[in-house]
Amino acid sequence: MPRDLIMRRALAIGAVFNFAAAAMILFPHSIGRFADVPLSAPRFYSWLLALFIALFGCVYAWLARRPVIDRPLVGLAIIGKTGVFLVALACLVTGDITARTFATAVGDLAFAAAFLWWYRGR
């Protein structure tokens, strides 16, 4: 399977992953329970976080459909996905999040690795 096709699929799945994560932040009392999303965060911060997560999802969906995948945006995606994982790891180590919350960040690390695989192969 061609490298770009694999990357397009990873971007599309990444978009869905981000939309699911945004939904968990927006609805902590229902779908957010799957990842132990805190129930006490002020709406402004929760909604702002969900917006940024969804915006990245939109970028992944857009990149998946572009005739040529934009390398600088993929580079930014690698930094963002790796950053989410590292922040979650730091929060896990300090006891600020549960292992269940951290488990969702492992998906971000997997996407960062897939994106990096494509980025380095160009």
Tell me which residue range forms the domain holding 71.
Answer: 3-120
- Count the Cβ atoms, other than its own, within 10 Å of residue 19: 18
Q: What does the pLDDT look like over 48-95, one tens digit per residue?
A: 999 999 999 999 999 999 999 999 999 999 999 999 999 999 999 999
Q: What does the pLDDT look like over 88-101, one tens digit per residue?
A: 999 999 999 999 99
Q: Total structural domains in the chain?
A: 1
Q: State pTM to two decimals.
A: 0.91
Q: What's the DSSP call for residue 121?
A: T
38: left (phi over 0), alpha (psi -120 to 50) or beta: beta
